[in-house]
Amino acid sequence: MPYHSTPLDLAFHALSDPTRRAVVSRLAEGEVPVTVLAEPFDMALPSFAQHLKVLEDCGLIASEKRGRSRWCRLVQARFDEAADWMEAERRRWSERLDRLEVYLDKTREDEEEHDKSV
Amino acid sequence: MPYHSTPLDLAFHALSDPTRRAVVSRLAEGEVPVTVLAEPFDMALPSFAQHLKVLEDCGLIASEKRGRSRWCRLVQARFDEAADWMEAERRRWSERLDRLEVYLDKTREDEEEHDKSV
């Protein structure tokens, strides 16, 4: 059975490109028309549009036509899904280090106890 | 000039696969030999080794030969770099929503003031 990418797979893939991360950063400050969004990038509009399509296909951004402009915005739920995964792993890692520290302290105390008693 | 992927690009790319994310989750709980790490995955060892290579090439994990086993561990600095990027964007987004809320409250108060004075 072929594997179908999950939304989380696609979100991390979308974030693996610096232009797309810069778009996410810009949109975190508020929605803007595509033309304004594209301005800082030294890139042909079709290439830029392709990056937006990757971000929109994975649900990290959404866009909407208003009059003659297309406006883009960040979609918080999808972004949070990826950020929450990172934070959960970081917490798991840090809890493990805490447990390790407790264990090492305990081992050291036991050794000191043992040294005193001999 | 061709674009060379940055460590952050490669880290996000590495996280775009569920097997590689599962490896990161497992290693967040402590280092293990490759054979133990591979056990829960229904996958040929060469395919699994390829996933480990992607993780190791981007610096998210490191491995070391000890006797007859190769042990893998998570590299916190690279993981933190990606997690910190996500958290910074999330904070920027949430600060923007806070500012928006303050602005809307102020607008509402100004309108109420105006309604009272006419």
Has residue A102 been placed in a domain? no
> Which of the two residues, B108 and A31, has the higher pLDDT score?
A31
pLDDT computed for residue A94 by the predictor: 86
- Of A18, A24, A55, A54, the residue nearest A37 (C-alpha): A24
- Residue A17, pLDDT > 80, answer yes
Structural domain for A28, as ranges: 6-77
Has residue A30 been placed in a domain? yes
Has residue B83 been placed in a domain? no
- Residue B2, pLDDT > 70, answer no
Q: Using an 8 Å CB-CB cutoff, list residues of chain B that contact chain A.
A: 5-6, 8-10, 12-13, 15-18, 21, 24-25, 28-30, 74, 76, 79-80, 82-83, 85-87, 89-90, 92-93, 96
Question: Which of A18, A82, A93 shows the shortest C-beta gap to B28?
Answer: A93
Has residue A110 been placed in a domain? no
Handedness of CA B88, B92, B98, B99 (dihedral sign): positive
Segment A34-87, tens digit of pLDDT: 999 999 999 999 999 999 999 999 999 999 999 999 999 999 999 999 999 999
Has residue A46 been placed in a domain? yes
Say what the pTM is: 0.84
B61 vs B57: CA distance, rounded Å? 8
Q: Contact B80/A97 with Cβ under 8 angstroms?
A: no
What B94-101 contacts at long range (C-beta under 8 Å, 24+ apart), as own/partner pairs, is B96/A28, B96/A29, B96/A30
Kindly report the CATH number assigned to the domain that includes residue A60.
1.10.10.10
Query: Which of A45-49, B66-70, B109-113 has the least mean pLDDT?
Result: B109-113
- Residue B12, pLDDT > 90, answer yes
Has residue B27 been placed in a domain? yes
Segment B27-61, tens digit of pLDDT: 999 999 999 999 999 999 999 999 999 999 999 99
Three-state SS annotation for B9-65: HHHHHHCCCHHHHHHHHHHCCCCEEHHHHHCCCCCCHHHHHHHHHHHHHCCCEEEEE
pLDDT computed for residue B105 by the predictor: 85
Helix H or strand E encompassing A3: none
DSSP-derived secondary structure for A4-46? PPPHHHHHHHHTTSHHHHHHHHHHTT--EEHHHHHTTS-S-HH
Has residue A118 been placed in a domain? no
Q: Could you give the angle at the alpha carbon of A71 between the alpha carbons of A70 and A73, nearest 5°?
A: 145
Number of domains in chain A: 1
Has residue B99 been placed in a domain? no
